[in-house]
């Protein structure tokens, strides 16, 4: 069942569209992530769903209820949308203690005091905040503030939970902990959730579906696996993980199929698929996902071979920079069996770690179209 | 810059070939010299106020030490009456001003009221307009029965001419609040603008209506700022002199300031001792309130992790937005524009208090501008203004430097002393300087007036420079020192150029304060020195209102020209000055 449907959302800041023609749907009870670099329009999109901004065009539906429609001039105020939200700054009210912060949504509903107390205490317990109910808000740590913000967003049993980069103010350890905790809480409550982040690993861990945005528009949408394995543009591929670029040219093989030949190294060839209409001698870019590239000692000729340019010991594994022709490729190897600088090595990777795009000039042209 | 150089040179001698050693001395001597100077300007006169309460005669007159003054004042029931009346006027005045200022600031910071920049500009402009001409205008507008407003009302409705009387409690409260509201507005507006908008949005997302958010979130968050600025405004109301003197005294309403002035210079036999005791009591009241206010500002701990600073969506007032605009604009018209327009028109009328075509004359202007004493008054005011502003800027820059940029042990005390004049009522300062300098040869010259104004301007200007200096990295100075600059050269070549915008802004501000202020100089300018404000005041109380109006308009023009300069140069300047 579709819980949220966003259609043709657009927001102008001055004459510049911050969000342009954004449409997506969120299944009931699932987590959808809006992923993108800062300034891509993801926060503005979330704020329009929350009712904190009015769109210049488009519509937002929650269940069968239209909450925002630019065409009809309809705008349900944020407090009437039955949503909960965790802000990036947490927005914990500094003049109230923990209990009052969490009880706020319930007090607005005029519930009896005993019921409010019970609900807040249950919430505190489930968030691991027992005993902190009378602590003044300014005395909370970052992680505690985040839990209070989450408790406040959930206590009123909203239809929709909105999370605006909730982990960006936490240190790395707390962040890992809270990601899994959030996933658990969300699954238990079963609330439909829209989550915003610029961190691709967060998106991978938390989402049922991911919407990648750039420059105000949706670039790709799908499950985390689909997006990681089949990025539709160079931008998505680069955004989802460390990538090295290798220049190549299109060459026609004797059997008539097209191949990309790495510039400066004659014997490395990659078969081209039919996703573009390749022409002989066109410049192309090979993009190689570093995380999937393994280093081993060179044996035999052919394949991806190069010399070690530098080596960094990372503890759990070793990172190498390997020169292949004119390109520098990052790759990984075990901490045993080290290769020295200058050594000839072989690079191994699965076929789906490499993707081929028309070179920048052409790529820009296709993007404009 | 030239003046700063001159002053440093004067205090420490010219920089010679031994510059290196001398500037080392200079660096060490400066804090001490500065502290001594500020003590002479702040602590010494206040000490003399204390001394005056125990002296049996007028300042400078032979007398003996006595407890008579205290005994007389404390046993006099009039003392408690004065305290009561002061509070009875200051409290409602402050509350009314607080309500107005908060409503105005709210409309401008947080709603979609139209022309917000214009409205803000008008309120800032009102805050800058000098008080004395304004009060003069209200004497024309709001006198019972014959006042212009009463004449107009009487023409509209039968019996309307009896409606308004500024010589009353109501008049003192309403007009006082109208003067205080723009000042408070300037304090509350930044607090409203600085409030983290996500705190409000979180409340809306948690199901609170706009009104509940206002009451449960915004109001408690704003409370410390409201309280702090409210106390400051209350202190200003207690220190107020022009309004109660010109409007309250004729109706036999006496507050602290007017009672002090009456005792020292009034129609009765002068009773300086009693005046000094009342002055000290007033000083103790205002001083302790300022300490409370300071604590409040320092103790504000409402800081949270800051977000990306989304600007709050302005509240949609619907058609009410035009009502909001209308109310603020009407406030400006009635309490800002009208008095000065009436004052201007009145100065061209044969008979003060009646405005019509048949009475048009330029006689008052020709009379006033042809008189030597008027020209002297203008010249003296300009000279005092220039001297006080220049000296004030030099001293304040040095104070801020010592306080923010050196590790000198006494810097906290210096900062506190420079802050002190906030808490000193203008009239008390005037008395203090009278006692302190009456036996010195500079008494009766421009210099006493200049020194008093420098003291008055210290907190304003040094806040100004301190806030600028803390934003500048210490490495700028350290780098200059490492690369061979002496302390003096570093100060002149690095600090002063960096501070230039603040220097210019503060100079004009101090000049404007010097030109428009009355209470600080009212006892110091007299026979030898003529200040516009004092002449306007004395001529008004001695019934030469037409000539006073002309002087008041000249004073207004000087202030407005100066303020336009400030407005163009620095917006921040306006928000940090109160008087």
pLDDT tens sequence across B388-402: 999 999 999 999 989
Per-residue pLDDT, B567: 64
- Across chain B, mean pLDDT equals 84
Q: Which two tokens stand for residue B549?
A: 């109006």
Q: What is the 3-state secondary structure (H, E, C) of A210-247?
A: EEEEECCEEEEEECHHHHHHCCCCHHHHHHHCCEEEEE
Q: Judge: A156–B307 Cβ closer than 8 Å, yes or no.
A: no
- Would the pLDDT of B25 be above 80? no
| Rounded average pLDDT over B327-339 | 95
Q: Indicate the pLDDT class of residue A302, thresholds 50, 70 and 90.
A: low
**In the β-sheet with A65-69, what is the strand arrangement from edge to edge?**
A16-27, A2-13, A57-62, A65-69, A74-75
Chains A & B: contacts with CB separation below 8 Å: 101
Q: Judge: A91–B199 Cβ closer than 8 Å, yes or no.
A: yes
Q: Indicate the pLDDT class of residue B127, thresholds 50, 70 and 90.
A: confident
> A286 CB near a chain B CB, below 8 Å?
no
Per-residue pLDDT, A361: 52
Q: Indicate the pLDDT class of residue B3, thresholds 50, 70 and 90.
A: very low
Ordered domains of chain A (ranges, CATH): 2-237 (3.40.50.300), 242-368 (2.40.50.140)
In tens, the pLDDT along B138-195 reads 998 988 888 888 888 888 888 777 788 999 999 999 999 999 999 999 888 888 887 7
From the candidates A88, A93, A153, A160, which should be mutated to test the interface with B, based on the most B CB atoms within 10 A? A93
In tens, the pLDDT along B180-232 reads 999 999 888 888 887 778 888 899 899 898 889 888 988 888 888 888 889 98
- The residue of chain B with its CA nearest to that of A92 is B199
> A83 CB near a chain B CB, below 8 Å?
yes
Q: Judge: B209–A79 Cβ closer than 8 Å, yes or no.
A: yes
Per-residue pLDDT, B545: 82
Q: Indicate the pLDDT class of residue B299, thresholds 50, 70 and 90.
A: low
Q: For residue B128, what are the contacts with CB-CB under 8 A and spacing of at least 6?
A: B512, B559, B560, B563, B566, B574
Q: Indicate the pLDDT class of residue B8, thresholds 50, 70 and 90.
A: very low
- The residue of chain B with its CA nearest to that of A105 is B206
pTM: 0.77
Contact A153, A128 (CB under 8 A): no
For chain B, how many residues are written? Answer: 579
In tens, the pLDDT along B401-438 reads 898 888 788 888 998 899 889 889 999 999 999 889 88
Per-residue pLDDT, A25: 95
Per-residue pLDDT, B240: 94
Alpha-carbon span B248 to B241, nearest angstrom = 10
- The residue of chain A with its CA nearest to that of B199 is A91
From the candidates B191, B194, B207, B212, which should be mutated to test the interface with A, based on the most A CB atoms within 10 A? B207
Ordered domains of chain B (ranges, CATH): 1-53+363-579 (1.10.3720.10)
Alpha-carbon span B564 to A145, nearest angstrom = 47
Inter-helix orientation angle B532-541/B545-569, to 10°: 150
Alpha-carbon span B186 to B127, nearest angstrom = 9
Out of B198, B206, B301, name the one closest to residue A105 (CB).
B206
Distance from CA of B298 to the nearest CA of A (A): 16
In tens, the pLDDT along B472-500 reads 777 777 777 777 677 777 777 777 778 88
Q: Indicate the pLDDT class of residue B515, thresholds 50, 70 and 90.
A: very high
In tens, the pLDDT along B244-283 reads 999 999 999 999 999 999 988 876 667 888 899 999 999 9
Alpha-carbon span A224 to B429, nearest angstrom = 74
Per-residue pLDDT, A279: 80
In tens, the pLDDT along A104-154 reads 989 888 889 999 999 999 999 988 888 898 998 888 888 889 899 999 999
Q: Which residues in A lie closer than 8 A to residue B302 (C-beta atoms)? A: 94-95, 138
Q: Which residues in B lie closer than 8 A to residue A138 (C-beta atoms)? A: 301-304
Out of B201, B209, B304, name the one closest to residue A138 (CB).
B304
What is the widest separation between alpha-carbon atoms in chain A?
Answer: 82
Which candidate, A3, A118, A13, A22, places its Cα nearest to that of A62?
A: A3
Per-residue pLDDT, B312: 62
From the candidates A89, A165, A197, which should be mutated to test the interface with B, based on the most B CB atoms within 10 A? A89
- The residue of chain B with its CA nearest to that of A146 is B305
Per-residue pLDDT, A173: 82
Could you tell me the CA-to-CA distances from B435 to A119, B42, B173, B341, B448 in Å, in that order?
A: 69, 13, 32, 40, 11
Task: Give the B-side interface with A, CB within 8 Å.
Answer: 196, 198-199, 201-210, 212, 216-217, 220-221, 223, 301-308, 310, 313
Q: What is the 3-state secondary structure (H, E, C) of B44-87?
A: HHHHHHHHHHCECCCCCCCCCECCHHHHHHHHCHHHHHHHHHHH
Q: Which two tokens stand for residue B238?
A: 């207690």
Per-residue pLDDT, B12: 40
From the candidates A18, A51, A95, which should be mutated to test the interface with B, based on the most B CB atoms within 10 A? A95
- Report the SS3 class of residue A231: coil
Lowest mean pLDDT segment, chosen from A88-97, B19-28, B171-180: B19-28
> A78 CB near a chain B CB, below 8 Å?
yes
Per-residue pLDDT, B1: 36
- The residue of chain B with its CA nearest to that of A165 is B307
Q: Judge: A89–B221 Cβ closer than 8 Å, yes or no.
A: no
In tens, the pLDDT along B66-112 reads 888 899 889 988 899 999 999 999 999 999 999 999 999 999 988 88
In tens, the pLDDT along A263-284 reads 777 678 888 877 777 788 888 8
Per-residue pLDDT, B571: 52
Contact B329, B320 (CB under 8 A): no
Residue recorded with tokens 């993009």: A287
Q: Indicate the pLDDT class of residue B359, thresholds 50, 70 and 90.
A: confident
Q: Judge: B201–A162 Cβ closer than 8 Å, yes or no.
A: no
Q: Is residue B419 exposed (0-12), middle (13-18) or buried (19+ Cβ within 10 Å)?
A: middle
Q: Which two tokens stand for residue B99?
A: 């309500």
Lowest mean pLDDT segment, chosen from A151-155, A181-185, B44-48, B137-141: A181-185
Per-residue pLDDT, B569: 62
With pLDDT > 70 as the criterion, what percentage of chain A qualifies?
96
Q: CA torsion, points B280, B282, B284, B285, in degrees to nearest 10?
A: 170
Distance from CA of A147 to the nearest CA of B (A): 14
Distance from CA of A163 to the nearest CA of B (A): 12
B417/A94: higher pLDDT: B417
- Would the pLDDT of B570 be above 80? no
Out of A84, A94, A169, name the one closest to residue B302 (CB).
A94
Select, from the ranges B10-19, B346-355, B358-367, B448-457, the one with the highest average predicted confidence (pLDDT): B448-457
A362/B377: higher pLDDT: B377
């Amino acid at each position: 069942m579709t819980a949220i449907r966003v259609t043709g959302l657009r927001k102008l800041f001055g004459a510049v569209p911050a969000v342009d023609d954004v449409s997506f749907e969120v299944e009931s009870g699932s987590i959808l992530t809006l992923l993108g670099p800062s300034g891509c329009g993801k926060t503005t999109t979330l704020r329009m769903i929350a009712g904190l901004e009015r769109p210049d065009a488009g519509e937002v539906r929650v269940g069968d209820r239209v909450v925002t429609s630019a065409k009809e001039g309809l705008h349900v105020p944020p407090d009437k949308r039955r949503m909960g939200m965790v802000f990036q700054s947490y927005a914990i009210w500094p003049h109230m203690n923990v209990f009052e912060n969490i009880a706020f949504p319930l007090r607005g509903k005029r519930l009896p005091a005993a019921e409010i107390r019970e609900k807040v205490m249950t919430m505190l317990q489930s968030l691991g905040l027992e005993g902190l109910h009378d602590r003044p808000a300014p005395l909370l740590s970052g992680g505690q503030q985040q839990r209070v913000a989450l408790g406040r967003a959930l206590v009123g049993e909203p239809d929709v939970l909105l999370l605006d980069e909730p982990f960006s103010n936490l240190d790395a350890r707390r962040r890992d902990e809270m990601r899994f905790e959030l996933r658990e809480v969300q699954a238990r409550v079963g609330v439909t959730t829209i989550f915003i982040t610029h961190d691709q690993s967060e998106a991978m861990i938390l989402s049922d579906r991911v919407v990648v945005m750039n420059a105000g528009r949706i670039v790709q949408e799908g499950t985390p696996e689909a997006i990681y394995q089949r990025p539709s543009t160079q931008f998505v591929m680069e955004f989802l993980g460390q990538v090295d670029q290798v220049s190549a040219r299109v060459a026609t093989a004797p059997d008539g199929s097209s191949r990309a030949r790495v510039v400066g190294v004659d014997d490395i060839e990659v078969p081209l698929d039919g996703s573009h209409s390749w022409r002989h001698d066109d410049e192309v870019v090979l993009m190689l996902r570093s995380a999937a590239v393994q280093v081993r000692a060179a044996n035999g000729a052919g394949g991806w071979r190069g010399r070690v340019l530098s080596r960094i010991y990372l503890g759990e594994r070793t990172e190498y920079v390997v020169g292949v022709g004119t390109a520098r490729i990052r790759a990984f190897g075990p901490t045993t069996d080290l290769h020295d600088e200058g050594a000839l090595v072989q690079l191994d990777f699965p076929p789906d770690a490499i993707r081929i795009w028309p070179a920048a000039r052409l790529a820009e042209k296709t993007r404009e179209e | 810059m030239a003046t700063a150089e001159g002053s440093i040179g004067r205090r420490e001698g010219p920089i010679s070939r031994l510059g290196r050693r001398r500037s080392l001395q200079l660096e060490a001597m400066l804090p001490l010299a500065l502290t001594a100077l500020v003590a002479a300007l702040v602590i010494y006169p206040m000490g003399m106020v204390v001394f005056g309460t125990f002296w049996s005669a007028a300042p400078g007159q032979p007398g003996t030490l006595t407890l008579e003054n205290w005994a007389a004042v404390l046993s006099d029931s009039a003392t408690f009456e004065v305290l009561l009346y002061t509070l009875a006027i200051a409290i409602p005045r402050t509350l009314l001003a607080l309500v107005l200022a908060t409503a105005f600031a709210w409309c401008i910071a947080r709603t979609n009221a139209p022309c917000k920049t214009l409205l803000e500009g008008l309120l800032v402009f009102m805050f800058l307009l000098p008080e004395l001409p304004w009060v003069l205008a209200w004497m024309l507008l709001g006198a019972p029965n014959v006042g212009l407003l009463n004449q107009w009302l009487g023409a509209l409705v039968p019996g309307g001419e009896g409606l308004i009387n500024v010589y009353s409690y109501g008049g003192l409260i309403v007009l006082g609040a109208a003067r205080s509201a723009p000042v408070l507005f300037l304090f509350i507006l930044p607090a409203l603008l600085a409030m983290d908008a996500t705190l409000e949005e979180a409340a809306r997302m948690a199901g609170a209506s706009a009104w509940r958010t206002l009451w449960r979130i915004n109001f408690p968050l704003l409370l410390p700022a409201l309280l702090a600025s409210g106390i400051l405004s209350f202190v200003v109301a207690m220190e107020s002199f022009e309004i109660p003197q010109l409007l309250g005294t004729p109706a036999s309403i006496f507050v602290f300031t007017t009672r002090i002035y009456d005792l020292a210079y009034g129609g009765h036999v002068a009773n300086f001792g009693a005046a000094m005791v009342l002055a000290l009591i007033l000083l103790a009241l205002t001083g302790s309130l300022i300490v409370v206010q300071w604590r409040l500002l320092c103790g504000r701990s409402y800081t949270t992790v800051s977000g990306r600073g989304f600007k709050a969506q302005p509240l949609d007032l619907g058609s009410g937005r035009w009502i909001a605009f209308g109310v603020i604009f009407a406030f400006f018209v009635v309490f800002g524009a009208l008095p000065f327009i009436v004052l201007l028109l009145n100065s061209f009328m044969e008979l003060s208090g009646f405005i019509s075509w048949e009475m048009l004359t330029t006689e008052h202007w020709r009379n006033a501008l042809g008189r030597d004493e008027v020209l002297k008054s203008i010249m003296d005011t300009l000279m005092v203004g220039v001297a006080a502003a220049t000296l004030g800027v030099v001293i304040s820059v040095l104070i801020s430097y010592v306080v923010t940029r050196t590790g000198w042990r006494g810097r906290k005390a210096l900062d506190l002393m420079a802050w002190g004049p906030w808490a000193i009522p203008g009239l008390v300062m005037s008395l203090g300087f009278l006692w302190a300098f009456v036996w010195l040869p500079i008494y009766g010259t421009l210099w006493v007036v200049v020194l008093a104004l420098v003291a008055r301007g210290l907190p304003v200007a040094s806040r100004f420079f301190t806030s600028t200096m803390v934003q500048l990295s210490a490495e700028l100075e350290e780098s200059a020192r490492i690369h061979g600059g002496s302390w003096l050269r570093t100060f002149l070549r690095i600090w002063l150029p960096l501070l230039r915008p603040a220097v210019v802004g503060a100079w004009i501000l101090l000049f404007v304060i010097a030109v428009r202020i009355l209470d600080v100089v009212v006892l110091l300018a007299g026979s030898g020195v003529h200040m516009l404000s004092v002449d306007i005041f004395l001529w008004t109380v001695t019934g030469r209102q037409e000539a006073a109006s002309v002087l008041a308009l000249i004073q207004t023009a000087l202030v407005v020209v100066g303020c336009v300069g400030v407005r163009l140069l620095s917006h921040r300047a306006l928000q940090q000055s109160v008087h």
